A and B are shown apart, each in its own frame.
Chain A
């Protein structure tokens, strides 16, 4: 088990390198020059060359990549071209905000998805099942940025109950655990929770239906268990797969939703990423994507480890 853990941790290195390389190349293939945005319109060729050298853009691409990787390994992701602030700090603030949003969305979406999925799977082909399934499909199908805008229109514009934009009063970018900040969290978290809720509900419904049709359920009734006792077995059998699905969804949520964070002006990684793309802010873009990729790898590892604990049939060596 320990050897497995170590090996998985070592695998993170090639994954991170690969992600950086792909991202680095994509950014350089894309048209547009990052310096155009920050240079004065009447800049001379000398000034431009000086600027290019300052950011290291004058060197050949492989050298640029090598330098970037070497610095990233020490925790230095460079400086943002647009703001001049260190990328590492920018990304960490954004990651913190996205974590808050992802955690809130998970706390809303996962329990509801599990509950709906279980009820629908247990009462399969009844009115309850059809209602829950319809709800889940709607949740997965409705474009969530559209839902976000509708919620803003209803709860912010018409009713005036909740703020529509930002992560705190006065456009604050730093999260705080108080009632004022929490009010800003409600709408984006609810909007973001809808898709994972639908996906978890549908997966768990199929899972529970499948488990209930297996012979061992009949055998459990045959040894005298009542519905409650049988349900306990069903939960335990469904847990590994449900956990895997939730882990994957959590990974997506941690990646930040560009659309939702843009709709709500939430200063998370998705928001940061979209800004970096539009401003051709290469260091910021690369740094953000690297951190997000590492997050995904970490969540997958945690889910794999949790599965071995729950399901005796899975052995990781």
Chain B
């Protein structure tokens, strides 16, 4: 088996402050080079926190991180100063959810891309601008020469997200993190951006971790899916495995709650209850209070990790039995 590009082991992230939040609790995740992983989960499940931890973007004063993260053989949690800055944007870069907020409003698009190139590759301004132009062309922005001089507020939402992607890919990262990159966009633009990301991923041969709460999006772009709940991965597998053969009751609930194929007038299947507040680290299965199949074992101890097949894991005592029931 090849060495994974991303290897996360037993990662826990805790925010302190007015309220303590155990956002991520003992997460294990790995990604082979050149693959696309979609992290699927609802708001507050810890998916964005996991991405930001990968880039060490969380405020150090209020965040306690434990566990191990290796990206391309680099121990991410031990990086600091210039080496951390080299890693950010060089090895790993990120596309944010809302490009209007993530781009500096008073710098032109070209300047913002060129700045990253000059920082990481030591190129002069002119060469960096040429790279910026090349990147805008690659993300299929029409009349890229003109767009170099344009400011974020002068572009449409879809164009801004393309520019954001151009910025993220300008230094040829090995890993791209995308934090719900299409959530803020119109439906028609969403699909264009997803296809573009997929194409660029193949073109550059990079690994992508894609965070979304939309199963349709995950199916569209990903090779593998990791379903997160209450700061941990409850189920992973290839897209086909997870969609066709979901083992975890939460994954089944998510799939059932999908609007596609819903009959008009019929009641939409929704998971009852609300996710836990995570003020304390979970001591049992976090999903048990909302689970129709939960029994005594679920409420007393953390669920075991069951491995139904290679590269496939489900954190549920019932993972084997549920399969038998179908």
**Chain A interface (Cβ < 8 Å from any Cβ of B):** 214-216, 218-226, 229, 233, 236-237, 240, 310-313
Q: Does the CB pair B115–A236 fall under 8 Å? A: no
Report the minimal beta-carbon distance from A167 to chain B, rounded to whole angstroms.
Answer: 42
Q: Does the CB pair A223–B116 fall under 8 Å? A: yes
Q: Does the CB pair B96–A223 fall under 8 Å? A: no
Q: Does the CB pair B96–A237 fall under 8 Å? A: no
How many residues in B have their beta carbons less than 8 Å from beta carbons of A? 32
Report the minimal beta-carbon distance from A218 to chain B, rounded to whole angstroms.
Answer: 5
Q: Which residue of B lies closest to A220 (CB)?
A: B104
Q: Does the CB pair B105–A237 fall under 8 Å? A: yes
> What are 30 sample pairs from A and B whose C-beta atoms fall under 8 A apart?
A215-B96, A215-B98, A215-B101, A216-B102, A216-B103, A216-B104, A216-B105, A218-B96, A219-B94, A220-B104, A221-B55, A221-B57, A221-B88, A222-B89, A222-B93, A223-B93, A223-B119, A223-B167, A224-B87, A224-B116, A224-B120, A224-B171, A225-B119, A226-B81, A226-B82, A229-B119, A237-B106, A310-B106, A312-B108, A312-B151
- Apart from A215-B96, A221-B88, A224-B116, what 8 extra A-B contacts exist at CB < 8 Å? A216-B103, A218-B96, A219-B94, A219-B96, A224-B86, A224-B171, A237-B104, A313-B153
**Distance A221 CA – B88 CA, assembled complex (angstroms):** 7
Q: Does the CB pair A236–B116 fall under 8 Å? A: no
Report the minimal beta-carbon distance from B120 to chain A, rounded to whole angstroms.
Answer: 6
Chain B 228-267: CB-based contact to A (< 8 A → 1; otherwise 0): 0000000000000000000000000000000000000000
Q: Does the CB pair B88–A224 fall under 8 Å? A: yes
Q: Does the CB pair B93–A313 fall under 8 Å? A: no
Query: Does B90 interact with chain A (Cβ within 8 Å)?
Result: yes
9 tightest CB-CB pairs across the interface, nearest first? A224-B89, A223-B89, A215-B101, A219-B102, A223-B116, A224-B88, A312-B151, A222-B94, A224-B85
Q: Does the CB pair A225–B98 fall under 8 Å? A: no
**Distance A237 CA – B107 CA, assembled complex (angstroms):** 9
* Interface of A, helix, strand, loop or mixed by DSSP: helix
Interface Cβ pair total, 8 Å cutoff: 77
Q: Does the CB pair B57–A222 fall under 8 Å? A: yes
**Distance A219 CA – B104 CA, assembled complex (angstroms):** 9
Q: Which residues of B contact A240 (CB under 8 A)?
A: 106
**Distance A240 CA – B104 CA, assembled complex (angstroms):** 14
Q: Which residues of B contact A236 (CB under 8 A)?
A: 104, 106-107
A313-B151 CB under 8 A given contacts A223-B89, A224-B120: yes
Q: Which residues of A contact B86 (CB under 8 A)?
A: 224
Chain B 190-230: CB-based contact to A (< 8 A → 1; otherwise 0): 00000000000000000000000000000000000000000
